[in-house]
Structure 1
Amino acid sequence: MKKSILLLALFVLVMGSSCKKEQIVPNRTIITTLSSGNWIKLNGGKSYTASINMPEIDNYFNDYGGVLVYVSFENGTYEQIPQVYNGVSYSYLTRSGQIVIEIQSSDGLAVISPPGSIKVKIVLIESI
């Protein structure tokens, strides 16, 4: 009798510990537009930056979450950055409360013009 209780307890313990609980957290997608007036010239026009306010990115999310950024120069076609497009290198950085998009010539030496109006798609990926 004791053996069967012990075997039953062992079976329950093994089965209970093998169950995997999953928590699915949905991503958030935000689409915004940067106009030509959003860009700040740096280095005599060799680079530009534009900031996007993102209150969704707090200190915790900035440390543990994930951010993907895409830009659209044409209607509905998004390209993930970092990216080189028409000789201009696009990159970004995140900090609490904002995303900063940076552009410069692909060789880092030429003077460039900021793009016209572009759509920016931001995907925020939660991490638990």
Structure 2
Amino acid sequence: MKRILSIIGCVIVLAASSCTKKYITPNPNQTILLTVKSAAWTTTDGGKTYSAIIDAPEIDSYFNDHGGVLVYFSFTDGVYEQVPEVYQGISYSYTHNQGSIALYAQSSDGITPITRPDDTTVKLLLIESN
């Protein structure tokens, strides 16, 4: 009798331990495609640095502190390059704060003035974290 109960107990333990729970959560990340017009780029140093501000209401105070922002520029249709990037002698970078993203295009040598960037397709990837 003890042997039968032991076997049944082992089978129950093995069956119960093989069960696993899966938690499937929806992907809260956002991808935003937009065009930054050439006229949106401004300079205050004679053309060595240009900047453009993008409104991003998705970046609230919590997301600004805990989320992640990735920026990609498309210089060729359908090809995205992650910023920071140096492309044709121009250094591209960005910063973000609550409600906006600032894009920068700077002379890679810090001396030579650059031309105002053309209309540029920008992909923003907002990644939530907790």
TM-score, normalised relative to structure 1: 0.82
| Equivalent runs, 1:32-111 vs 2, <5 Å | 32-111=34-113
SS at match of 1:61: helix
SS at match of 2:46: helix
SS at match of 2:62: helix
- Aligned partner of 1:6 in structure 2 is none
CA contact (8 A) 2:105 2:117 kept: no
Q: Structure 1 residue 45: deviation in Å?
A: 1.0
- Aligned partner of 2:114 in structure 1 is 112
CA contact (8 A) 2:70 2:125 kept: yes
SS at match of 1:100: strand
Unaligned runs of 5+ in 2: 1-12
SS at match of 1:25: coil
Percent identity at matched positions? 50
The CA RMSD measured in Å over matched residues stands at 2.6
Partners of 1:119 and 1:63 in 2: how far apart?
Answer: 26
SS at match of 2:116: coil
TM-score, normalised relative to structure 2: 0.81
SS at match of 1:43: coil
- Count how many residue pairs are aligned between Structure 1 and Structure 2: 123
Q: Structure 1 residue 26: deviation in Å?
A: 2.9
Q: Structure 1 residue 23: deviation in Å?
A: 4.1
Q: Structure 1 residue 21: deviation in Å?
A: 5.1
SS at match of 1:57: coil
Larger Rg: 2
Q: Structure 1 residue 25: deviation in Å?
A: 3.4
Partners of 1:19 and 1:108 in 2: how far apart?
Answer: 55
Q: Structure 1 residue 43: deviation in Å?
A: 1.1
